[in-house]
Structure 1
Amino acid sequence: MASRVKRDEEAWTGERPSRLSLPLLILAALLSAGLVIYAIGDRALAAGFAAMVLAAAALLSWYRRIFPEEAADRDAVPDWTVARAAADASNMAIAVTDRAGRLACASDLFGEWFPGFPTPPNMAAEPEVSESLGAAARAAWRDGEARVEGIAQGALRLDVDICRTGRSEDYLLWRFTPVRQPNALDDVHRLLTGDAGRQMGEAGIMAVMIGGEGRIRAANGAFLLRAAGRIDANITGRDFAAHMRVDDKGRLFLAREESGGLPLRLLQVPLRRATQPVGNQSGQDGPMLLLLIDEPAGSAGGTSALSYIETLLSLLPFGLAMADRDGRVLFLNNAFSRAAGLKRSDKPSYPGDLVVREDQGAVADAVRRFAVGPQMSGDIAVRLRNEPEEPTALSLAGVRGLGEAAVLLSLKDNSEESKLKRQVAQATKMQAIGQLAGGVAHDFNNILTAIIGHCDLMLMRHTPGDSDYDDIQQIKSNSNRAAGLTRQLLAFSRQQTLRPQVLQLPDIVAEVSNLLKRLLGESVKLDVSHGRNLGAVRADPGQLEQVIVNLAVNARDAMPEGGILNIQTYAVPAAKVREMRQEILPAADYTALRVSDTGLGIPPDILSKIFEPFFTTKELGKGTGLGLSTVYGIVKQSGGYIFAESELGRGASFVIYLPVYQGADMDHALPAKAPVKRSETWGTGTVLLVEDEDMVRAVAERALVRQGYKVLTAHDGEQGLEVLAGGEKIDLLISDVVMPNMDGPSMVARARHSHPDLPVLFMSGYAEEQLRKSIDIANVAFLPKPFSVSQLAEAARDALAMRPAVE
């Protein structure tokens, strides 16, 4: 077997042992010399020939040592079964991919977490996660390693480490590690086994954490030394009760100390909220922290033990407090004060002082019930006085043997959780209001279209000076004001028609400055300043001017005695955004616009409501409540973010962050010059008008007929297709977008099969930009509602001009 291995090694390396090579070479040289003598008979020539053979062999050997042959690749096809067995033995989720992105090998745990063994990075359901994994893979091929943290896979959160590997570094190794979620049990475990546990032992406190089954999970050194005799003893998993004994007087002792030990006081701290309702016996149904303290001889009140407990409770990371049998608060730690919203100097006399008046009776009854009788634990839902809108669970547990202390109270610090809940609720409410506002504006636009259209038709039959002319003109003027109100509703619901351009914010501020000076009056001073290196933004300049004017008017009204209105523009790079640690604002480059005043400020209780539509603090008749909601909608529709900051008596600030435009070619982003429209709106041809609202269809039909068109009508998409199939030549299709049975885009998509060159004019009360994103139809025009008769005629003329020339 050894000789076979040696032969295999020689075949692999291409080398022979020198002790066999030299005799063979000498023998070959002698044989060569003998052949020469036999053939020629010249001994000198034979000796020279033998020397030449030896020299050639030496040169060949020397060359092979300097330039050894590369070993043949015996593993041209890797054996991945060995790699997979090693991966399974490591109990890790591992995958290996080649340069083509194919899965070469994966562990069984990878298949459990990702059923079907998908190929990284295409294993995530969310496109964002797949994109981040793909970018990390490209970085690993380039840099040798990469990492992605916190991807979600079902209930798991995983960190992914990627590195190049292999003999030629032509594979990627993917390692998936679950993110460890810390909890209260881990905190207590570290507390007992760390320096804090040693300090408790030096203070005379033995601490043990047990599970719901009563078995020990962790203990500090003081308990290990006295219960097991060694500070390094391993008693994890043993029954806690086996280390304790109770005498005939009901006193508690360590079993190992027998008759020589002191009686102990036991305090039980539940580490998980009880699932039973208040008043039910809970028992040991969850993990618990047990604190054991020697009871000094002659001590009846337990004052010394209580001081130890207070010291311990002040170190724990969760909110705990103690109350006596009469319900008076004896102690509360800092975590409890934070959870209750108290200042450090505040200490309530009774637990009921922490809650609203309606819950004080229930809290007092619960404290009295847990203070007497058997030891129990439970929860009660309360509303804290400092946060009355958010219910909180107050946990209570009866304790015995600690003198005056009879009830242990626990309160979870859910300030961050409540903040997130409020933010989600606010976002949900704003979204619902926006959808409602958009729907109302759409229906209102149909009504206004009919009113304005009929007014235009009536004005065509009257001349200035007629008795009815001024009345009709007043109706139309009021209708146009109502149309402006619907535009504000659409702006809030982010459905307004915007015409974005690439621009600089200082230019917009300069354009509107003269108007602001007239609006602000003599008592308010306007101060404008601009930062350097401002990036260009892409937004509608007219809408941005409206944003600045609305904010300036609100600031003026907040300064009845006069003051200063400050408008600033400055650059906010991505690094600065990360330093701000703003949860809502993504890390990117922004150009900011700050509008601040020195007025009265905004009260904290209404600061979260200022962007809601129809919410106003102005007197009746002096405000519609749509100013800030319009600002909010324009900013969000432009891809930006707006934040309000205020302090009573010190003014308010509104900061708008617009993302820096990153377009590769700025010229393409600039709006094209509008074509010069002809004044002539008379036309000829046949128009198919599809509109589900009878009043809009009637006024549009009359307006088109007056302009010289022949008009065919339909009340929905299906009837419109029937008219198209009737055989009459249609020159223009005018259709509403949202209709019952079959909407406008669906009808046009089917009509284009039989009429590919048919011009189409869509009309709708929704935003053109939103509709163009959802309508995948080329060569269509758009007319927003409400529109006048002249606007309809001009739109029809321009749409007909889109027809291809007939050859």
Structure 2
Amino acid sequence: MTRSDSRSKPRMEDLPDPIEWPRLPGAQRHMAIVIAGAVLLGLVSTVLVGWTMDSWEIAALYAAMILASTVVAYFSALGRARRGAGGIDWTMMRTALDSRSDALAVTDTEGKLVCANAAYGTRCDGYPSPFDLAGADEASRSRLANIAEQARRDGNGFAEIQQSVGGALRRLRISVRPADAARSYLLWTLRRGTAEKAMDDTVALLEGPAGIWLGSAGLMIVMADPSGEIITANGAFKTLISGGSGRAPTNLVDILEAGEDGARRMKTGGGVSLPVRLIELPLGNQKEQGTSAYVFLILREGSAAAEAASRVPDSLPALLSVLPIGLALADRDGRFTFMNESFAAIAGVEAGSELRYPSDLVIDEDKTMVSDAVRRAAASIERARDLRVHLKHKPDEPVALTVGKAPGAGGPAVVLSLKDNQEQLKLEKQIAQATKMQAVGQLAGGVAHDFNNILTAVIGYCDLMLLRHTPGDSDFDDINQIRQNANRAANLVRQLLAFSRQQTLRPQLIHVSDIVGELSHLLKRLLGETVTLTVKHGRNLAPVRADPGQMEQVIVNLAVNARDAMPEGGELTISTFAISAREAKSLDREGMPSAEYVAIGVKDTGTGIPPDILGKIFEPFFTTKEIGRGTGLGLSTVYGIVKQSGGYIFADSTPGGGTTFTIYLPAQEALPEAASAAAKADGGDPWGQGKILLVEDEAMVRAVAERALTRKGYEVLTAGHGEEALEILERMPEGVDLLISDVVMPTMDGPTLVQHARKAFPDLKIIFMSGYAEEQLRKSIDVPDVAFLAKPFSVQELSDKVRHEIARGTARAKPEPAAAK
């Protein structure tokens, strides 16, 4: 019994029915209640109509109309429910997924599997949720959760995990991206490693018609793991070792033995030991535990071979040609004796070309390495060796070459296996890039948080000093210069946070044409006289949701980069246009789902970007400018702002032909303007009144905030951490008007402090101040009705925020006027 024989095939009925009622929790129960209520209301109405009009015929007609309306409403709701909560036809979705050979699955916001194709069921030995593929491995489960979050945030995610299928560990590469514009559903794509694909293809070959044909020709083929455990074999091998009984050994160690002369012999099911010739072909990368396997070609020799001579093909190459992997054979001198079509296709060998040695396939730098590996394999010094080489016809793309010994009748020979692993290398680069960007982003966010505390104190003290100095004082200019440089440092911190997608954005519905139009005069001054600016606006563009200030920074950064790429002058064209869902699909932009977009194009006629640099331009601190002219944060800032706004940015360039940056922002529906906006600070009385509890672990920030609020007329109590603040509140039964707290503090953090404080004072107004982004904090803080003040802040910003929150609390506390009777 081989390992593949014990593997049960997944059944399509194991896949959850995507149109069944449980997709709408309690739908049947709620629908039944609604129907019962409608029928009861109809009966009551019928009795009232009949009694009022004294005409039971009219009442019966009225009752029939109500029942008919109820039936129509019921079946309409049933049809909508069966199409899914989002109007998705899951039956059609499953049909579309089944047309693909890749393993595909769709999950909802809760991580439940809602749709998958047959390839997914085969690959996963059933239909588990993608989140369950890692089993009990917490690290792998965490990676899957992270790439799901990354896909909803950035548009795609990649991870590699170990999957247990049939008792064996398999390497699985997983990519995920949003399946719809709202990012409620995720589309998962599962791909096998190179070794796993070769193993699966070999299993399909041996268990299919080709395995039967090879067996009828007298060739026995076995695939086994490094320990000799048989994974699968063709029928000829199974029949010979079982003797027709159906029971057979499961390990090659129990079947093959070596004689004193080094010849191989194989034990049959009838107890006979036959001389055989064994050719060993390694599969996969032997350095990767759990993925290595070997294919053994077994030929009977001597009289046993003569008995099957009529069924053995004229040559072994004819048999090797049908294998789905690139294989070649070389003699003891290292000369090619055979290569199959797969090997020739990967190596770029044309028909009729004369290649004598394996080293003729590779570039000069790899020739010595390949020749040495072939020599050592022919001399039986090494069993097998994996090499990473560069072929002559594709010198920029490394491939995997495995060189091993293959004992033959004429003495030691060499077998070579060539694998095109470009897809694997591409995925590895994407995973490495995503991991690097995430790590640098986390570092940037941490540095920015600490730096913001310092800048808050510097800017605050400068504001306090400027209150005591007029523009005519000798120190005024010096203090103002310190403040301006602190603001420049704050802008640099915002760029770091923009790259790490942790800055505080204040998104609103805007029209990109308005943003571009308002910037056109500023851009003309920035570009200079040698660069011509052309602006083209599309018609009937939908609004987008973004921070207008940050979008201005995006356009300015791209325009400045374009100016620097045109030292001799040129033309810069900024255009806005709409992209339909069909056009977005035809663009085939990596990671961008099909949806309605509003696009901004920034095109220059400059020097262009070389292909080897194009993939690095969004990395932080990467710049091609000379020292002192660029920080390397411009394009990474643009990338972070666009991603945090839910959009996508791509660069297309031709060296010498200019560069085009295209930003795609999801189109939004225009919402009606509110009848009345919230009351804004009108700049009336700058003085305030009220009692404020200020909680901040950084002494310098606490001191400057206390002085600023005290000067505005507030009574300020201070605490260095959450527990100290609770002790102060316990001594104040009347409470305070406002609590201002840092978020991250030792002993007790801000959110925990607020939860305890609101148990005694439920209506307590809260302001959180932090160097982290507001969006990031609101996702991690489960505290309702709180305001946020981003660090670094000025004295005026702190005063305005406090006055606004106290005024809002006072307005809410006023009783509503009695309704007129």
Instruction: State the TM-score, normalizing by the size of structure 1.
Output: 0.65
Compared with structure 1, are the counterparts of its residues 486 and 154 closer, same or farther at alpha carbon in structure 2 (3 Å cutoff)? farther
Q: Secondary structure at the match of 2:437?
A: helix
Identity across aligned pairs (percent)?
Answer: 52
Q: Match of 1:593, SS?
A: strand
Offset of 1:486 from its aligned partner? 0.9
Map 1:341-352 → 2, pairs under 5 A: 350-351=358-359
* TM superposition shift of 1:547: 1.0
Question: How far apart in 1 are the matches of 2:191 and 2:391?
Answer: 35
Secondary structure of the residue aligned to 1:486 is helix
Superposed, 1:57-456 pairs within 5 Å as: 93=14, 101=22, 135=84, 148-150=115-117, 156=124, 158=126, 183-184=197-198, 187=201, 209-212=221-224, 217-218=233-234, 268=279, 270=281, 272-273=283-284, 286-289=294-297, 316-327=323-334, 335-336=342-343, 350-351=358-359, 354=362, 357=365, 363-373=370-380, 377-382=383-388, 384=390, 394-399=401-406, 406-456=413-463
Asked whether 1:657 is paired with 2:624, we answer no
**Distance (Å, rounded) in 1 between the aligned partners of 2:278 and 2:391:** 30
SS of 1:609's equivalent in the other structure is coil
User: Residues 499-578 of structure 1: matches in 2 within 5 Å?
Assistant: 499-531=506-538, 534-578=541-585
Deviations 1:682-724 (A, max 9, x none): 1223221111101101111111222222221100111111111
Specify whether residues 145 and 713 from structure 1 end up closer, same or farther in structure 2 by C-alpha distance, changes over 3 A only.
closer
In the aligned structure 2, how far is the partner of 1:701 from the partner of 1:670? 38
* Corresponding residue pairs, total: 639
Larger Cα-atom Rg: 1
Show the counterpart of 1:757.
Answer: 763
Query: CA separation in 1, counterparts of 2:709 and 2:117?
Result: 61
The residue number in structure 2 matching 1:773 is 779
Per-residue CA shift, 1:353-399, capped at 9, x if unaligned? 74795x7655433311211359x742335464899999975322324
2:18–2:91 contact (8 Å) kept in structure 1 = no
Displacement of 1:328 in angstroms is 5.5
Cα 1:713–1:613 change in 2 (3 A) is: same
Residue among 567, 591, 611 paired with 1:604 = 611
SS in 1 for 2:116: strand
Q: Distance in 2 between matches of 1:328 and 1:671?
A: 86
Q: State how far apart, in whole Å, the 2-side matches of 1:363 and 1:670 are.
A: 77
Cα distance 1:349–1:774, how it changes in 2: closer, same or farther (>3 A)?
A: same
Contact 1:276 1:378 in 2 (8 A): no
Q: Answer whether contact 1:330 1:405 (CA < 8 A) is retained.
A: no
Note if contact 2:359-2:368 (Cα within 8 Å) is conserved in structure 1: no
- Cα distance, 1:437 vs structure 2: 0.8
2:764 & 2:757 partners in 1: Cα distance?
8
**1:736 correspondence with 2:742:** yes
Distance of aligned partners of 1:711 and 1:211 in 2 relative to their CA distance in 1, 3 Å threshold: closer
> Structure 1 CA distance, aligned partners of 2:532 and 2:431?
39
- Separation (CA, whole Å) in 2 of partners of 1:617 and 1:143: 49
Deviation of residue 306 (structure 1)?
Answer: 14
Structure possessing the higher relative contact order (Cα contacts under 8 Å, 6 or more residues apart)? 2
CA contact (8 A) 1:192 1:207 kept: no
- Write the distance in 2 (CA, Å) between the matches of 1:439 and 1:274: 39
Structure 2 distance, partners of 1:425, 1:89, is 34
Distance 1:95 1:467 in 2: 78
d(CA) in 1 for partners of 2:283 and 2:612?
Answer: 34
Unaligned runs of 5+ in 2: 1-8, 24-80, 96-113, 129-165, 167-189, 253-260, 265-274, 303-311, 816-821
2-structure distance, mates of 1:756, 1:520:
55
Residue 716 of structure 1, aligned match among 721, 724, 733: 721
Instruction: Tell me if the contact between 1:398 and 1:406 (Cα under 8 Å) persists in the aligned partners.
Output: yes
Alpha-carbon distance between aligned partners in 2 of 1:343 and 1:450, rounded to the nearest angstrom: 72
Give the aligned partner of residue 681 of structure 1.
Answer: 686
Inter-partner Cα distance in structure 1 for 2:121 and 2:665: 33
Q: Answer yes or no: is 1:630 the counterpart of 2:641.
A: no
For the 8 Å contact 1:338–1:413, the answer to whether it is kept is no
Q: Distance in 1 between matches of 2:11 and 2:714?
A: 80
Q: Over residues 416-460 of structure 1, what are the superposed CA-to-partner deviations in whole Å (9 max), with x where a residue is unaligned?
A: 111111111111111111111111111111101111111112222
Rate the CA distance shift 1:369–1:145 in 2: closer, same or farther, 3 A: closer
TM-superposed CA distance for 1:591, in Å, is 2.5
CA contact (8 A) 1:274 1:378 kept: no
Query: 1:215: how far off?
Result: 11
Number of the residue aligned with 1:783: 789
State the alpha-carbon separation in 2 of the partners of residues 432 and 669 from structure 1: 42
Q: Residue in 2 aligned with 1:458?
A: 465
Equivalent residues of 1:150, 1:157 under 8 A apart: no
CA distance in 2, matches of 1:353, 1:403: 25
Question: Is 1:698–2:703 an aligned residue pair?
Answer: yes
Q: Return 385-394 or 444-453, whichever deviates more.
A: 385-394
C-alpha distance in structure 1 between counterparts of 2:729 and 2:737, whole Å: 11
**Residue type at the aligned position of 2:518:** E
Q: Distance in 1 between matches of 2:284 and 2:10?
A: 38
> CA 1:487 to 1:354, structure 2 compared with 1: closer, same or farther past 3 Å?
same
Query: How far off is 1:630 after superposition?
Result: 0.7
Provide the residue aligned with 2:475 in structure 1.
468
**Alignment match, 1:126:** none
| Aligned partners of 1:641 and 1:657 also within 8 Å | yes
For 1:792 and 1:291, the matched residues in 2 are separated by 86
Mean Cα displacement is larger for which, 135-144 or 676-685?
135-144
Q: Which amino acid aligns with 1:765?
A: G
What residue identity is the alignment partner of 1:149? Answer: A
Q: CA deviation at 1:97?
A: 12
Residue 99 of structure 2 aligns with which residue? none
Code of the residue aligned with 1:786 in structure 2: it is P
User: Which residue of structure 2 lines up, in the alignment, with residue 747 of structure 1?
Assistant: 753
Q: For structure 1, which runs of at least 5 residues remain unmatched after alignment?
A: 1-87, 103-131, 161-177, 229-233, 241-248, 253-263, 278-283, 295-304
C-alpha displacement of 1:487: 1.1
Are residues 571 and 144 of structure 1, via their aligned partners in 2, closer, same or farther at CA, if it must alter by over 3 Å?
closer
Q: 1:629 to 1:144 in 2, by over 3 A?
A: closer
Structure 1 residues 679, 338: CA separation in 2 closer, same or farther (over 3 Å shift)? farther
Residue by residue over 1:299-334, the C-alpha shift from the partner in whole angstroms, topping out at 9 and shown as x without a partner, is xxxxxx999767776765423344454445676667
Opposite residue 440 of structure 2, the aligned amino acid is I
Superposition deviation, residue 785 in structure 1: 1.2
CA contact (8 A) 1:356 1:383 kept: no
Contact 1:352 1:363 in 2 (8 A): no
When the two structures are superposed, what TM-score results if normalisation uses the length of structure 2?
Answer: 0.64
Cα 1:713–1:137 change in 2 (3 A) is closer
Partner of 1:490: 497
**Residue 276 and residue 569 in structure 1: after superposition, are their counterparts in 2 closer, same or farther (change >3 A)?**
closer
